[in-house]
Structure 1
Amino acid sequence: TGSVPTSLLLPQVVDAVGADIPVVGAGGFHSGAGLVAALAYGADGIAMGTRFLLTAESRVPDAIKGDYTKATVFDTVVTTALDGAPQRVIRTDLIDQLEGSSIVTRLPKAAMKALAFAKLTGTSPKELWSEGMAMRESQDLTWSQLAMAANAPMLIKAALVDGDASVGVLPTGQVAGVIDEVPTVAEVVDEIVADARATLARLAP
């Protein structure tokens, strides 16, 4: 999650990479009108994370889907409290607690989550350390960011897999605030195609 909106970033990327490299717009897309806008910016298509997360086929627990559909556009926040990198999530009591705690308080919990992450993925502590050092060097992470790197996936798993938002986080796009239903994937695609055609017809009658 960066500070430059998609509407400004997308055309810059298209101009930078040239016509031979396909560009897919991501961030804030959920409708056919958005698809048309992305095409107008020069993109070849769009990616929709939050929209497809909130579909009938998504394996996210129904109660968690409900937390998403109840959110407004003002209920998301960009935080660095998970692992040091900016991420947009739905604001919950846990996010407020993490935001209000010091790095000294968060580090021991992050270390425990790192061990849990290693167990979950079948990675040995030695392998986890080697991968962490490589990530620190390639991404120029601080030691505190490195120590918290396994925090985010475990907190995300707690909510999106285990279904407990009280101990997990809900990663999201701000677009969650305008999504209030959970259709099938086919219905999403059909609606986007129909909306895109209607938008094009309205723009060029």
Structure 2
Amino acid sequence: GGFCDGRGLVAALAWGAQGIAMGTRFLLTQESTVPDNVKQRYLAAGLTDTVRTLAVDGHPQRVIRTEVIDELEQASIVTRLPKAAANALRFRRLTGTSVRDLLTEGLAMKRHQDLTWAQLAMAANAPMLTKAAMVDGHPEVGILPTGQVVGEIDSLPTVAEVIASVVDEARVTLARLGASPAAP
């Protein structure tokens, strides 16, 4: 992650990558189904407005710093567990998954991913908090997953414009470096 333009593509190729992922860049396009108010929150984010946190579900992830994230970061495991349990029940209702299936999946996750009981209890947080912001359009009660490049992005082009821009910039960068512009 952390890529949003042709310069990043060229840098990754120079390190031996076969391609790059640009999740945040494509999230911020006209075709993206993310609600417009959420896109505007991303566009307003600066380079220092993200945080890498374990507080959502026990796994490291980068998000835009919000009040929800600050509260999760400051909360003790005792105060996180009831919220995580409530999110697990909401997740169950949303997906139609039985309690037995949730428990079976949870135990498998604990075994295979070496999770603590606290991490396992928090695992339902990520999908529910992500859905609240990214699908339901309520970033004030959800989380905004992002790449480090969010502060570099200030527009909502079409997907075709993003691709054309990345290719054009990669060609210019390669030419400037003395490489073949046909490489990407």
With the shorter chain as reference, the TM-score category is: over 0.9
Output the amino acid matched with 1:70: A
Output the amino acid matched with 2:175: A
Structure 1 distance, partners of 2:16, 2:73, is 38
2:60 is matched with which residue: 69, 75, 86?
Answer: 86
Whether 1:157 and 2:157 are equivalent positions in the alignment is: no
Structure 2 distance, partners of 1:173, 1:61, is 18
Structure 1 distance, partners of 2:75, 2:19, is 40
Give the structure 1 partner of residue 104 of structure 2: 130
Report the count of equivalent residues: 179
Structure 1 distance, partners of 2:111, 2:37, is 39
Q: How does 1:37-76 map to 2 (within 5 A)?
A: 37-76=11-50
Give the structure 2 partner of residue 14 of structure 1: none
> Which ranges of 4 or more aligned residues in structure 1 deviate by more than 2 Å?
none
Q: How does 1:5-20 map to 2 (within 5 A)?
A: none
Structure 2 distance, partners of 1:135, 1:181, is 39
**TM-score, structure 2 normalization:** 0.95
| Deviation of the 1:78 alpha carbon | 0.8
Give the structure 2 partner of residue 145 of structure 1: 119
| Deviation of the 1:86 alpha carbon | 1.1
Structure 2 distance, partners of 1:123, 1:51, is 33
**TM-score, structure 1 normalization:** 0.86
**Percent of counterpart pairs with the same letter?**
67
Q: How does 1:93-104 map to 2 (within 5 A)?
A: 93-104=67-78
Ranked by relative contact order (alpha carbons within 8 Å, sequence separation 6 or more), the top structure is 2
Q: Which runs of 5+ in 1 are unaligned?
A: 1-26
Give the structure 2 partner of residue 204 of structure 1: 178
| Deviation of the 1:132 alpha carbon | 0.5
- Secondary structure at the aligned position of 1:78 is classed as strand
